[in-house]
Amino acid sequence: MDNSSSVELYLASVWRYHPAGVERILETLRQKHPSGQYTFEEASSWFKVSCEADDVYSVQKIFKEVHSDIERDLDPTKVPTDNQWVKPPSPGDLPKEPASKTVVDQLCPVAFDRFAFRKVWTRVKTDTPDTISIHKLLNEGDRKAIMADTGTHMTVDTVSGRLVYIGADSKTAVARATKCLDNLFSRFIFVMPPPKHLLYAETDGAYHVDARYMAHVNDTMLTSTILDPSQYRTEVALGDMFKSVFAKGVCLRICEVDHFKRIEVSLFGPRSKPIFNDQARKWPLWFKRAEYTPKVLGVTAPKKVQEPAPAPVKQPDSQPHPAQEDKKIQTMIKGNQLVCVTNSQTNGENKRQEVAKLESTENSDLLGLDLLDTPKALPGDKPSTPVVLPPMPLSYQSDKYSYQMKLLWNFVNNPLKISPSQSASKPVKLFEAKPAMKLIEDTSVEAPVDGDVAGVEGLSVKGKSQPIVQDGPAKPGLVLDTMKLIDFLDDAPAQPTAPSPTVAAASAAPPASIEQNDLLIQIDNSPPRPVSRSVSQKTPVASTTAHDKGKERSVAASLHARISKALVRRSTFTNGLCSAFGRLMADLPYSRGRIRLQVELGRVYIMDANPEGLAFNMPGEAAAGWPQSEITARLDTICVSPESILFSRALTLFANDMESVLGLNANAIAQSLRTSSAPSIIDGEGSDTHLGSLPEWSFHEKRIVYEFKFQRLHRQSNGDLKPASPFVIEVDGTEPGAFTYAIRSVEDTRPPIWIHCIRRHWDARVSVSYSQTDKLEADYGDFARELLRSLVVPPGPITSPKFQFSHDERETKKGGQSFVTWILSARIRNVGRFVSADQQSFLDISWNWIMALAKRPGKDNMSVSTISATPAPDNPARGMFTSWYEASVVSAEAEAAFRENETLPVGEMAAWGGVGTSALDEMYESAFRPALQLVQKMDGVGVLVDNGQADRQWVPPMKASQVALAVQKFW
């Protein structure tokens, strides 16, 4: 027997043994498990066993079975005095009952007799060690705040400092004060959990995982790596980190089953192609090139006041005269100008007359988007590229009516046949029942092929029902009225009536004439009326009212339930992640301050792995990966420090990557910016008619944030400077003249949760940050307000930002302590926020700029300097780039719930802390579920990025045919 794997253990019971009993037990053990060595030590009355480590459970099971056989013959009501195997234990061997503690009745001092209700709060005395005093969790300011809020009188025991005396004139006030102290105690005893690693395999069941050098999996993962220069003090430190990433960077990959070879093989990839193929571009479509141009430099610039739009002219109920209809003024977009055009018909031909031209800058402000000088088609102009009609479903291509069905399909999917008068009618409501549409067998005019129309539930063709469902989103800039279209096709009046001028002109003119007359883009002042896509062809859904809050919530909930959750199901992974969320945020319901929960997209680099535990097998060879439970246990134990793991949030240098992931283009962004903000289901306002027309992610808002990272150093008694924790001042400069600031702690104040996506190019990280805003405001509020006052942002394009501010480098004395404040870095974050289709999640895509700071001394060489910030130059030799993109997903419900914590009274609990576990899990899931779905679409993101380090860094070579071994020395 190999002694290196053998163990020794002792088996005992409550009984004492007769010699026959000892012999019976030893004989049974040797018979059922002969490989072990067994002896009985009479002095201790136990059995000594020496066996293999893997056989411990079997030996214990045999020992338990033989005792069960012996005890089966005993009478449970009598003490065994004549049993041949065992004898009763001595009184000293039995466990002693714990001595009853003396109950001390705590009484309030005599001074509290004036109160009708009194109580002594004793949790610190009874539930904590003697070294803990009440002042650890209740300071003087909090005590006074609770007294004022609850109407009670509280004092702390001056003898032990571990009791609180409470008195009040009502029982409710005493109960409230007690609850506040309990909440403070719950926050005080909270123990911060360690960092957590989770594996996202997109599958259920057991699997194995390879730990492999990133260079061997896909070298593109290394060459596309971008690091935030603001996290490193010097460029040399940045270069050293690149050196470590190339030489030691390790990632995890799942082992897949090769059914043909009947073995598990390692995943080398993914090796995806670029996600976009057009011209690479750094600035995103949702930001204009010149975001704003204030008249006065700095934050004192007046707010831009937009002129109110003219009130719409109320149209009479009767149909207009044909002559008046021809003179109707319509609006269209041409290049960067908003042009009003009069539509008139003479001898069957259209003539264009420009009525007014607005300045291009005003058009940019109206649409919120630089249209890149792309001219739009005018009436009579032929489109530069042919319009592709969505393919007709096979179910419509019947043998007998295929030609009629084709005509109807072309007609329904042609928005150019909808006249301007029809587009001004009532909006289409989502989930509203639609009447059936009958086919008109008039095939004299074939409609132009363009556009998409949805909302028609069914089509009746001579008694045969066929569904019609939109196969694409509505075209931007078009406002269609499906209900009016259905009335035109289906309603047969009892008395023959004259057709409207618009309908008559459309039916009498040839197809070319129809295309010329109705090509204008109608833009009105009414709220947007998106055309909805039918969610189900078979299941009808109830109609909703735009301002009915109760129905709005029910429709939103049903839509949220219908959205597929197959990618992130209620599996072991989901339950484990929700549990990790709960442990990480257990104390935050009682905390006053700023809370932010987000799931960041990026890449995890394991930097401290033992090469003996890595995989070196070649593609197609058998893998010997780690069981997922074992490797996560090792990661949670060892790979938790900043030196052992790295997470890079930088995704790409190009805006095309992020736009391609979201499926956005210039037209979609222009449509989102023209329409109002998406409704907020959290606040119970807005119309649910938006839900059907929104894509998976639609543009919501944009922000420009100037981010300054500072560190304060305090002068000690010996003359040395002791650094404090860094802090960040964020100045929201989205709107000129209305700049605001916020102070927060560094983001990594709480341990993160790393999510290794072992099939994908990118990973995720759960980040929870908490900032005590009151304390930060008391310490750094004056400094932040002075920074805001001196901040000057000159006019300029967003592609070349710059600003300046004043910084006092003198040593300041405050409260008897001297300190100096250093600036560490400055960044600009251009944040575009997108909202999900179910309104439950926000996606923040941040275009970050690292700024180079140049100090200019003040007058007379004073210490107050003026610092100019300009974009730092690219340095590919060091892997440094001026701008890059980051992305994170936040829960809309969590963001709204956490606002209560910013003004939470002392000792109170936020409302979100009192909801059930399932409700909190849904809130957490609305953050990580969309994030993991995005990761599955991002394999091609960043593929075209080259950090310039491929020829400068060393990577470990592959060792051919060396099979991976899951050894104990790993980490």
**Collapsed DSSP state (helix, strand, coil) of residue 589:** helix
Q: How confident is the model at residue 197 (pLDDT cuts 50, 70, 90)?
A: very high
With 50 as the cut, is the pLDDT of residue 267 above it? yes
Ranking 174-183, 194-203, 347-356, 912-921 by mean pLDDT, the lowest is 347-356
More confident residue, 365 or 817: 817
As a whole number of Å, the CA-based R_g of the chain is 37
Least trusted range by pLDDT, from 155-169, 460-474, 654-668, 920-934: 460-474
Q: What pLDDT does residue 489 have?
A: 30
The Cα 847–Cα 687 span in angstroms is: 31
pLDDT surpasses 70 at 360: no
Find where tokens 């405001």 sit. Answer: 777
Strand, coil or helix: what is 443?
coil
**Three-state DSSP state, 964:** coil
pTM exceeding the 0.75 threshold for the entire prediction = no
Res 366: pLDDT: 29
| Statement: residue 252 has pLDDT above 80 | yes
Q: Burial of 885 by CB count in 10 Å (0-12 exposed, 13-18 middle, 19+ buried)?
A: buried
Q: Which residue has the tokens 């310039």?
A: 948
| Predicted local distance difference test score (pLDDT) of residue 670 | 61
Residues in contact with 19: Cβ distance below 8 Å, sequence separation at least 6, in sequence order: none
Sheet with 329-334, edge to edge strand ranges: 329-334, 337-342, 354-357
- Candidate from 293-307, 682-696, 707-721, 873-887 with smallest mean pLDDT: 682-696
pLDDT value of position 751: 92
Q: Is residue 810 pLDDT above 90, yes or no?
A: no
Residue 19 reports pLDDT greater than 50: yes
Where residue 343 falls among pLDDT bands split at 50, 70, 90?
very low
C-alpha 952/C-alpha 515 separation (Å) is 60
Quick check: 728 pLDDT over 60?
Answer: yes
State yes or no: pLDDT of 34 exceeds 90.
no
- Which of the two residues, 243 and 469, has the higher pLDDT score? 243
* CB 741 within 8 Å of CB 784: yes
Q: Which band of pLDDT confidence, cut at 50, 70 and 90, is reported for residue 518? A: very low
Tens digit of each residue's pLDDT (9 = 90 or more) over 67-106: 888 877 776 666 666 777 887 776 655 555 555 554 455 7
Q: Which tens digits make up the pLDDT trace of 574-610?
A: 999 999 999 999 999 999 999 999 999 999 999 988 8
How far from 324 is each of 268, 554, 627, 730, CA to CA, in Å?
69, 45, 78, 56
Residue-wise pLDDT tens digits, 417-456:
444 444 333 433 322 333 333 333 333 333 343 333 333 3
CB proximity list for 64: less than 8 A, separation 6 or greater? none
Q: What is the mean pLDDT of the chain?
A: 73
Q: What would the two tokens of residue 208 be?
A: 């194995």
- The pLDDT of residue 80: 67
| Predicted pLDDT of residue 258 | 87
In this prediction, residue 16 carries a pLDDT of 80
Please, is 935 exposed, middle or buried when counting C-beta atoms within 10 Å of its C-beta (0-12, 13-18, 19+)? buried
Q: Which of 252-266, 501-515, 881-895 has the lowest mean pLDDT?
A: 501-515
**Which of 206-220, 641-655, 674-688, 866-880 shows the lowest mean pLDDT across its residues?**
674-688
Cα-based distances in Å from 724 to 550, 823, 864: 50, 13, 22
Gap between the Cα atoms of 832 and 849, Å rounded: 14
Between 880 and 303, residue with greater pLDDT: 880
pLDDT in the model for residue 15: 78
> How sure is the predictor about 748, in pLDDT bands with cuts at 50, 70 and 90?
low
Bridge partners (DSSP) of residue 814 are: 817
Percent of the chain clearing pLDDT 70 (strictly above): 63
Say what the pLDDT of residue 775 is: 92
Domains of the chain are 3-93 (3.30.70), 110-188 (3.30.1370.10), 194-305+546-971 (no CATH), 394-517 (no CATH)
Determine the pLDDT at residue 369. 37
Beta bridge partners of 561: none
pLDDT in tens, 124-148: 999 999 889 999 999 999 999 999 9
Structure tokens given for 140: 């003087």
State pLDDT tens for residues 478-509: 333 333 333 333 333 444 444 444 333 333 34
Averaged pLDDT for residues 945-951? 91
Cα 914 to Cα 875: distance, rounded to the nearest angstrom:
51
Answer whether 226's CB lies under 8 Å from 881's CB: yes
Backbone angles phi, psi at 927, to 5 degrees: -95, -50
User: Is 222 a residue whose pLDDT tops 90?
Assistant: yes
- Spatial separation of the C-alpha atoms in residues 81 and 130, rounded to whole Å: 48
Helix (H, G, I), strand (E, B) or coil at 631: helix
For the segment 621-666, what is each residue's pLDDT rounded down to a tens digit? Answer: 888 888 988 899 989 988 888 889 999 999 999 999 999 998 876 6
Q: Indicate the SS3 state at residue 541.
A: coil
Q: What is the pLDDT of residues 277-307, one digit of tens each?
A: 888 989 898 887 555 544 334 443 344 445 5
pLDDT value for 412: 63
Contact predicate 819/715, CB 8 Å: yes
Highest averaged pLDDT of the listed ranges 49-58, 279-288, 772-781: 772-781
CA distances from 243 to 131, 237, 642, 663, 821 (A): 48, 10, 16, 35, 32
Strand partners, 626: 209
* pLDDT over 60 at 549, yes or no: no
Using CA atoms, how far apart are residues 338 and 808, in angstroms rounded to an integer? 48
**Cα–Cα dist 940/661, whole Å:** 9
- Among 370-379, 579-588, 611-620, the minimum mean pLDDT is found in 370-379
**Element containing residue 241 per DSSP (H, E):** helix 235-248
Model confidence at 880: pLDDT above 80 = yes
